[in-house]
Structure formats: C-alpha cells, structure tokens
Homo-oligomer: A and B are copies of this chain.
Amino acid sequence: MIQINTGVKVLDKQERKKYIAEKTLELISEKGLTNLTMEDVALSCNLSKGSIYNYFKNKNSLIVSAFSALLEKVQNFFEDKESNPTQDCAEESADFYANLYSEILNTFPSKELMRLFEILMNSTHEPSMMQILTQTFKENYGKILSRFEKLFNSKTKAFMLQAMFDGLVIYRAVGVEFSDNEIRDNLKKMILSLTDENKN
C-alpha cells in the first residue's frame, strides 16, 4: 500500500514499481491481456495515467514486470508446497510429486497460470519483448524443473513432465474437464516409470 510520508514507512521507487506490476498482474488475471488498459492500471493503483509512466517506460515494460511477478508467484507456489521434501525411495517421490502437481492443478487458479502463456504467445511478434520474456521464463522454469531433473537425472524428462502439467492447465482453463484423481494416479505411474527407467 502506498503511504504518504507521515514519517512512518514510505515505499521507495522500486517498491512502488513492484506494487504497480502486481496490481497489473491482478488485472490481467481478471480481464485478460487484451482488455488491459493503462487506465485500468492507473485506476487500480489510485494513480493517474501519467504517473504510471514515471515508473514504466511504456505498456510493454509494465507487462514484462507483471509477467515476472506472475512467474515469481508461480515459483513461490511450487516452493511453498514443497517445503519439506522427505522422499527416500522412488515410490515415495512419485507419490509426493503426483500429489504435489495434482494439488497445484487444483489450487492454483488455472486461468491465472494460463496468463503466463497468454502473455508469452501474444508477444511472439515483438522480438525485443519476446526476448526478455523468454529469458525470464526459462530462468524461472529452470528452477522449477531442477527438482525433476535431479529425480529423473534428465532435463528432457523434466521438460516433458512439466509440459504435460502446463498443457493440462491450459486445457482446463479453456473449458476441458477431467478428473483430478485419475490425473494424480496416472501421474504417479508415469513418474515412477520414468524413474525406474532411469535406473536401468
């Protein structure tokens, strides 16, 4: 929350940037990227339109910041769910991750996670924007993937599993329905088979 300098605590420019980016992210989640206007942003931040431009060079750079905020949120979400990873054997690991992903699929708003890809895709034809978005995406997803990489001892397998997860997220966001229980069970089997296979 922005505070006026009553001596208490005043947000510095960096913090206010972040605040705006987060508000923007909320708006994108609510209304989609296409419907995002600078006026919406200004209103939701209790700022004037002009003021937004004191913090962000233009709309694109604001979107990039919102994208970063979203990726950070996603990553935190993954990390929080995984705070005490006490998996000894493959079976336990498979169980753990199947549950984890299933839970995330249930609790993380599908539409919100979908926005990640919406932003990425919409930027496909603005090279300068695409570059920074892709880079940010890779870095953050790299961290998320690193667990699976360790588990499977394979970057590609990690990719594939995460891709499946994201695919399901998107399917769900666009109205395809499926049973979470079945997902979880199959997920476990797949993880297990990928782990087993690893040992051969």
CB pair B189 A137 closer than 8 Å: no
CB pair A167 B163 closer than 8 Å: yes
Residue of B nearest to A193 (CB): B193
* Residue in B32, B168, B170, B197 whose beta carbon sits within 8 Å of that of A117 in the complex: B170
Residues of B with C-beta under 8 A to A137? 174, 176
Contact string, A152-192, partner B, CB cutoff 8 A, digits 1/0? 00111101111111111011011110110011001101100
Interface size on A, residues (CB 8 A): 52
Contact string, A66-107, partner B, CB cutoff 8 A, digits 1/0? 000000000000000000000000000000000000000000
Residue of B nearest to A200 (CB): B189
- Give CA–CA (A113, B130) in the complex, Å: 18
CB pair B163 A186 closer than 8 Å: no
* 20 A-B pairs (CB sep. < 8 Å): A32-B124, A32-B125, A33-B122, A115-B121, A117-B117, A118-B124, A121-B121, A122-B122, A124-B173, A137-B174, A138-B175, A141-B176, A156-B178, A156-B182, A156-B183, A159-B171, A160-B168, A161-B164, A163-B164, A163-B170
Which residues in A have some Cβ–Cβ distance to B below 8 Å?
Answer: 31-35, 111, 114-115, 117-118, 120-122, 124-125, 130, 133-134, 137-138, 141, 154-157, 159-168, 170-171, 173-176, 178-179, 182-183, 186-187, 189-190, 193-194, 197
